[in-house]
Chain A
Amino acid sequence: MTEHEDGEGSGSPPGGARQRGMIAARTGLKVGGNYARYLSRRATGADRDEARADLHTRNAEDLFTELSKLRGTALKMAQGLSMEPGMLPGQFADILSKAQYEVPAMGPALVHRLVAQAFGMPPQEAFAAFDLTAMAAASLGQVHRARLHDGTDVVVKVQYPNVRESVDSDLKMVRALAGRFVDLHLLDPYVEEVRERMMEETDYINEGRNIEQFAARYANSSIVTPRWVEARTTERVLTMTHVDGQHLKAFLATEPSRERRNHFGQLLWDTVHEQVASDHLSVHADPHPGNFLFREDGTLGLLDFGCIKVFPRAFRDHLLGLYRARMAGDTAAQKRAYEALDMLPADLDGEERTYLMEILDAFGGMIQSLYEQDMYDFSTGELLSRFQDIMPRLTGREAFQHRRPVGSHHFVFVNRLLVGLFSMMTQLGARVDVRHARRCLEQVRPDSLMPVG
């Protein structure tokens, strides 16, 4: 469940394959038109680098405008791609990384119909009370307040019609569009990764089970989760208990004390590290500000369990092995971890390999800096500054020229988790004690040297 402002227009995603195909075709045409303008500028003597940068910006804007009309799948794909080294040129990443899920609302009549179809009775009968006006919109649905007949306050997430059926066709279109920039056969594992998560995310029964799993993990802790109301859930309509609290924006608007911001930052920071190091091997992979609630009693509400990434143990262990190698300055162990995580493909030539190692070193150094002292202060903006220095190298012209993604496909959601976490911590401006997080990351020892695959 995420809160977003309504975007332009309204209604559900284009329904038919033909209609969706037309959007993709239009994007292709626009991108083609932009290339024509670029070639024309080159022919007239315009500066080549400047013209190419303009081209990328125009393409990114067109791509985003059109992809946003396809709703969830395409946007998630675009966001995932924008974070992969060598996937997209920098201007694409800039624009796509700003992509929040700009989802227009469904009208009350359609919501009424979808709920009635789900439960075989109108919402007013299925629930003691049901507000047909959405309280929040999400990438794949929208959320309504309701009350069960036993008086329990709940929220009901209603999925936009035909989203699940559209995932495959959306991904085919995104794959075709991305093929202009990336070698397709290298892209496929990433596309498949997004597809798997999307199929899980569109199955609300799966999300209900995830809610219960995380509720059990966080029972009697400072993390509060909703509880699943199974009797009022189908694949497309999910009912869960209501959790009170303020979203990040509203919380910061109250000008909370430094102590309170540190408290919530510490909770968030420790929770993510505990998840990564846990034997459950599963993490909440959608750390969007709308998915956290800052509660009066000091507990942190955790929402939206649609996107849960379950790591293969070997991947998780190698990832933490890489962390330990960095902290110890063990370059041989780092290299072994890079190779195990597919971050240094064997067929890279010397120049490409050197270039990639530089990027990995810069990125690793940034992560390492968070853990070097017992305390880390996100309010200094240092992390953001380092990240902004690295991003052009991750997505800049040189990376783009390689036209190949690197790293295991599991990194799609690791990157999403990291960027989301860093963004939240920076907005909070929290100063956190990293000792518990360090212990979490250091306690896991690889029990396998098998490649991640």
Chain B
Amino acid sequence: MNESFSHTTSHATAWPDMVQSAAGALTGMDGAGGWPVQERLSAFFFMLLDALEGAGVHASTFNREASACASDFHVALREQLVDVLDAVDVPGVNRLVTDSAPSRFAVAEILVQLLSTSLADASDNRERSAALADKSLAWAAALIANPIPARTLDVVRYAMEAGYLRWKP
């Protein structure tokens, strides 16, 4: 275990650095700018997990120091998610929601819980939690990229413009 993560006072900048380095690695991957949100989110998560594992972070340390919503880690995650969720398959209407603070908080919380679960996973190569993370992130990405809000808005707008729907204040 990396000693810098075993004390609460010695790594104030390490947690946010780890988030930034994962986000930087994602940006540096070939073609990542054209990936759908599921792949961007999934890549970001597994890079974060790799970074945490590489630093020898234990689940207990992570839970104690990084999982709280006021922690530097959580705050850094929420900041980086603006870029991570900026994917080609996220409709413009959805971006109004996904860029909002409550949405990023929710996604960050999902990532934190999955990281915590993965770090505590004692299965071979953490395969049990890897499958869970993959599935959960696919679910989250499906919500983020859901075309229904944009399609709904489009049909309502058209119906109003064409006179099929009338606005009655």
CB-CB contacts of A110-142 with B at 8 A, as 1s and 0s? 101110010000000000000000000000000
Contact A13 B135 (CB under 8 A): yes
Contact B132 A110 (CB under 8 A): no
Please tell me if A109 contacts chain B, counting CB pairs below 8 Å.
Answer: yes
CB-CB contacts of A148-160 with B at 8 A, as 1s and 0s? 0000000000001
Contact partners of B45 in chain A: CB under 8 A: 109
Chain A 1-35 residues near chain B, CB threshold 8 A: 9-16, 19
Please tell me if B142 contacts chain A, counting CB pairs below 8 Å.
Answer: yes
Please tell me if B79 contacts chain A, counting CB pairs below 8 Å.
Answer: no
Are A161 and B39 also in contact (CB < 8 A) when A11-B138, A110-B134 are? no
Tally of B interface residues using CB under 8 Å: 27
CB-CB contacts of B107-145 with A at 8 A, as 1s and 0s? 000000000000000010101111111110111011000
Contact partners of A108 in chain B: CB under 8 A: 29, 39, 43
Contact B125 A117 (CB under 8 A): yes
Contact partners of A15 in chain B: CB under 8 A: 127-133, 135
Contact B142 A112 (CB under 8 A): no
Contact A16 B123 (CB under 8 A): no
Q: Could you tell me the distance between the alpha carbons of A422 and B7 in the complex, rounded to whole angstroms?
A: 67
Q: Could you tell me the distance between the alpha carbons of A160 and B138 in the complex, rounded to whole angstroms?
A: 14
Contact partners of B98 in chain A: CB under 8 A: none
For A13, give the chain B residue with the smallest CB separation.
Answer: B131
Q: Could you tell me the distance between the alpha carbons of A165 and B121 in the complex, rounded to whole angstroms?
A: 14
Chain B 30-48 residues near chain A, CB threshold 8 A: 38-39, 42-47
Contact partners of B43 in chain A: CB under 8 A: 107-109
A113 contacts which of B46, B123, B138 (Cβ < 8 Å)?
B46
Q: Which residues on A are within 8 Å of B, measured CB to CB?
A: 9-16, 19, 104, 106-110, 112-114, 117, 160-162, 165
Q: Which residues on B are within 8 Å of A, measured CB to CB?
A: 29, 38-39, 42-47, 49-50, 123, 125, 127-135, 137-139, 141-142
Nearest first, the 7 A-B pairs at minimum CB distance are A15-B131, A15-B132, A109-B43, A11-B138, A12-B131, A161-B127, A109-B46
Q: Could you list some 28 contacts between A and B, CB below 8 A?
A: A10-B141, A11-B38, A11-B135, A11-B139, A12-B135, A13-B135, A14-B131, A14-B135, A15-B131, A107-B134, A108-B29, A108-B39, A109-B43, A109-B45, A109-B47, A110-B134, A112-B46, A113-B50, A114-B125, A161-B127, A161-B128, A161-B130, A161-B131, A162-B123, A162-B128, A162-B130, A162-B131, A165-B127
Given known contacts A112-B46, A113-B50, what 17 new A-B pairs fall within 8 Å (CB)?
Answer: A9-B142, A11-B139, A13-B131, A13-B135, A14-B131, A19-B132, A104-B138, A107-B38, A107-B43, A108-B29, A108-B43, A110-B42, A110-B130, A113-B130, A161-B128, A161-B134, A165-B127
